[in-house]
Structure 1
């Protein structure tokens, strides 16, 4: 019997398994249904080590993002994983965004983040190809390859005596007073405790365990473009718009890459398939799940304008370009080369509100990470420590 099984081989699952083995709380087994780890959200994000400026002071996101940024950089340095500390500019392009920028400056102070205010002239001096009325510069924001970090975490788990099995799908869960038995397509597995870090399938795994979570995972497609190589030097820092505080998305931004490239994205288009990355992907089970959930209809009614804009930009490249040209007017249609989309697992409440913070639910012997969107990659190490602390008192 295993002490703990971790279901899900993304960065949060891998970090949880690493935390368990580091504390000697084994034997530990990681299960992932894909042929390799980091297949979904971990392998399809912008690779940003976030500072934590956006998040409500005192929230899990704010605290864990700050801790996670430092922990991620330290982990990368220890294991020779490249990190580029390029910094980030939050650029206001109209008066309303300037007001939001002022609120973010105050939030930066509350979250102990070093944020420098730039006027239009200083913004232009630092980034000649970027235009705005003003900006905040967040010096500590960086970029890293989270797939590489996940691979290293998994390697450390196996070095410490843990097991990692890929290509194994959990199809059923039976919990008793003493153990949890997982039914999989490769046979049964028994453990004293199970942690589910299932991302896009988190709510379904919870229901397998007899939970009736008050949330549903709604997939949002993040569509990206690469900038043509000869234009990759347009900016030297991350360049973000000022986000809408009512939405859990950060807007289309320019991101330098570790190999010297530049990409732009992601958008936030309602997905019709939780794991269908090509444009036009449709999974009828996923559609039925959304259509049968009252919260989804409330989200749709409350965000008609935003939803239509995102759909238009998905279908019409010129509309997507318009979002980028607000702060980088030199970009042209010819500069944008489509690349594979990502899919964000966003938990939505029954009343139609987005879950803005990390969310955990549990039974006696299972623990479920039900909402871990951005900045979960940045925050993975402290999330893992928190999850294991919740389990620690009940482990042998």
Structure 2
């Protein structure tokens, strides 16, 4: 019998297990991950950015968790000697029409309590000599980190706290046994008093297995990247972002200096035909059919048809992808770019076609379901874990774990 079972060994599941171990030192904690290693999906394929929180609506979970998380993540990396760098970033307007949106973003950064600065095109050049723009914002707290190393350290600390970690263990059925829940897996059956679902790309399905309706469906979007050839890495010093379209959920193609010194360019954002579809050719009939028969997807597609078409074009045309990057750095040429990894974003979408634009955490009697935790979840992971655990003491039958 376990006190807590966490489903999903990505960065949110592991941070939650670690926070539980600290809050309830005598509790029996179990982490189940269906893959053969931790951080296999969203966490292991993201851009490695420690986000500042500038983009998110003031007062939202994303804004608060990201702002606080950027600090706690840097402190965690410092404490455990994990590769990271607080290098800052620039967000630039490439034409006059983008200036009002840039100003709104600057004000939002101030509202979110961030250190941000308006900078001229000349000042942008001092930071990023190869960027062409009309104005920019400097965001000081943005950084980069190796999130795979972070997750391995989380797992190590969970084990030291007495937690049990199981890889290659897929939850296939959830049922009740009195007040407890029974998790049937391909690798045994486990009974627990409390379930925390951090299953990312499959979080909505796990919620339904537990008889919980998340009021949203996960729609997978693949983000495809190119990498600058080593001899062209000099073109990028830190991180360079365009001004995003506030009505579109993605940030636009940008340049990211990675912790290993490489420079990634992207991502675009296209519908993935498989929830774990990292290649253009990946296809799963169930995943595809669920999206195609979901009214919310068609409402979203109709609203963002123009942007969606441009994303698809960039996916299949390297020349189009290159042109998007040239708006930021005109010197970039197609031959300077080589394909690299893709990631898949687990984006929750409601039936009315609205994207869930904040972290979605659904609480039931003896379970919590994290049903929307795309970027900036890695940055925010320590804060998300603490926030989930803060809800659990209200469950009186679990309080004994903290005092026994």
TM-score bracket for the superposition, by shorter chain length: over 0.9
Match of 1:168, SS state, is coil
Matched with 1:15 is 15
Match of 2:166, SS state, is strand
Matched with 2:349 is 348
Report the Cα distance in structure 2 between the residues aligned to 1:263 and 1:342, rounded to whole angstroms: 12
Matched with 1:366 is 367
In the alignment, does 2:207 pair up with 1:210?
Answer: no
* Consecutive aligned runs of 4 or more in structure 1 exceeding 2 Å deviation: none
Matched with 2:190 is 189
Normalized against structure 2, the TM-score is what? 0.96
Give yes or no for contact 1:118–1:134 (8 Å, CA) kept in 2: yes
Supply the RMSD in Å over aligned alpha carbons.
1.0
Match of 1:339, SS state, is strand
Matched with 1:114 is 115
Matched with 2:376 is 375
Give yes or no for contact 2:222–2:277 (8 Å, CA) kept in 1: no
Aligned residues: 396
1:1-396 correspondence to structure 2 within 5 Å:
1-25=1-25, 26-394=27-395, 395=398, 396=400
Give yes or no for contact 1:3–1:28 (8 Å, CA) kept in 2: yes
Report the Cα distance in structure 2 between the residues aligned to 1:49 and 1:213, rounded to whole angstroms: 28
Q: CA deviation at 1:176?
A: 4.1
Give yes or no for contact 1:222–1:266 (8 Å, CA) kept in 2: yes
Q: CA deviation at 1:177?
A: 4.1
Match of 1:240, SS state, is strand
Give yes or no for contact 2:313–2:320 (8 Å, CA) kept in 1: yes
Q: CA deviation at 1:243?
A: 0.6
Deviation per residue, 1:243-301 (Å, 9 max, x gap): 11112211111011112211111111111111021222111110111112110111111
Report the Cα distance in structure 2 between the residues aligned to 1:347 and 1:138, rounded to whole angstroms: 28
Report the Cα distance in structure 2 between the residues aligned to 1:176 and 1:357, rounded to whole angstroms: 33
Structure 2 unaligned residues grouped into runs of 5+: none
Deviation per residue, 1:275-332 (Å, 9 max, x gap): 0212221111101111121101111111111111000000000011111110111000
Report the Cα distance in structure 1 between the residues aligned to 2:374 and 2:273, rounded to whole angstroms: 18
Normalized against structure 1, the TM-score is what? 0.98
Deviation per residue, 1:129-164 (Å, 9 max, x gap): 101010000111100011110110011001111111
Match of 1:224, SS state, is strand
Give yes or no for contact 1:35–1:166 (8 Å, CA) kept in 2: yes
Give yes or no for contact 1:347–1:354 (8 Å, CA) kept in 2: yes
